[in-house]
A = this chain, B = another copy of it.
Amino acid sequence: MAPRLLCFDVFGTVVDWRGSIVAEVSALSNSRGLSLDAEAFVDAWRLGYPKAMDEVRRGVLPWTRIDDLHRMILDKLIAQFSLESLSERERRDLNFAWHRLKPWPDSVEGLTRLKRKFIIVPLSNGNVSLLTNLAKFAGLPWDAILSAELFHAYKPDAAVYDGAARMMDVPPVQAMLVAAHKSDLTAAAARGFMTAFVDRPLEYGEGRHPDPGGDPAFNFNVTSFIELADALGA
């Protein structure tokens, strides 16, 4: 069975969030003379993210968008990294750095090819406005914007994969998740999706790769969207 719908994880799979945010934080640090350790700051920011989502999943927090989770984590880091001199406007702009992430070098070309043959959508925990602004910034040619926000559940909850297939009116067996994270792919496969693992060795920076190689359990194991387009005949 060939897929009709390709759903893409976004952070790490389509865009280089770490490199992009480190660059923004470094620029801010330099322009404000903050001598901030940008890499440590960004890693701490990202580290707070699964924990915050988990609090939503467990009902400790009500439904909260990623923009607001990012801001809650940022507010905690302000003291830790001695950033109290940042104005509210600067904090808000820094939080929106997550809307300005650079695609991996193969992302736009690969998505453009895949779009000719398939429906291509993000299926991200990022909120709809974040994903829309990001697509405009990075030139991602999505057919629609799907997000965990539409289902008020965060991946890897089954409701996200089920909801995406239902909303696009495609049976799960004709949907495929494309992701750089094995846990996401395994959760999608459990809901009947096909799976494509894309190796993104630099997501967490040089020499730190939590998800190396592929897995024969996935339908495809590739190292770029171009290779995926080739494999799918797009």
**A135 CB within 8 Å of chain B:** yes
Pair A144/B132 contact, Cβ less than 8 Å: yes
Given A145-B145, A150-B150, the answer on whether A132 and B168 have CB atoms closer than 8 Å is: yes
**Residue among A67, A168, A170 with the highest chain B CB neighbour number at 10 A:** A168
Per the bound structure, the CA–CA distance linking A131 and B119 in Å amounts to 12
**A97 CB within 8 Å of chain B:** no
* Chain B proximity mask over A125-154: 1 for CB below 8 Å, otherwise 0: 001110111011000001111000110000
Q: Using Cβ atoms and an 8 Å threshold, which residues of chain B touch A170?
A: 129
Oligomeric state, in copies: 2
Pair A149/B167 contact, Cβ less than 8 Å: yes
Q: Using Cβ atoms and an 8 Å threshold, which residues of chain B touch A88?
A: none
Query: How far is the CB of A109 from the nearest CB of chain B, in Å?
Result: 18
Query: How far is the CB of A143 from the nearest CB of chain B, in Å?
Result: 5
Query: How far is the CB of A113 from the nearest CB of chain B, in Å?
Result: 15
Pair A168/B129 contact, Cβ less than 8 Å: yes
**A206 CB within 8 Å of chain B:** no
Q: Using Cβ atoms and an 8 Å threshold, which residues of chain B touch A168?
A: 128-129, 132
Query: How far is the CB of A176 from the nearest CB of chain B, in Å?
Result: 16
Given A67-B169, A167-B149, the answer on whether A132 and B136 have CB atoms closer than 8 Å is: no
Q: Using Cβ atoms and an 8 Å threshold, which residues of chain B touch A149?
A: 167
Q: Using Cβ atoms and an 8 Å threshold, which residues of chain B touch A67?
A: 169
* Chain B proximity mask over A90-109: 1 for CB below 8 Å, otherwise 0: 00000000000000000000
Per the bound structure, the CA–CA distance linking A67 and B167 in Å amounts to 12
Top 10 closest A-B pairs, CB basis? A129-B169, A144-B145, A132-B144, A128-B167, A129-B168, A132-B143, A136-B143, A150-B150, A119-B132, A128-B144
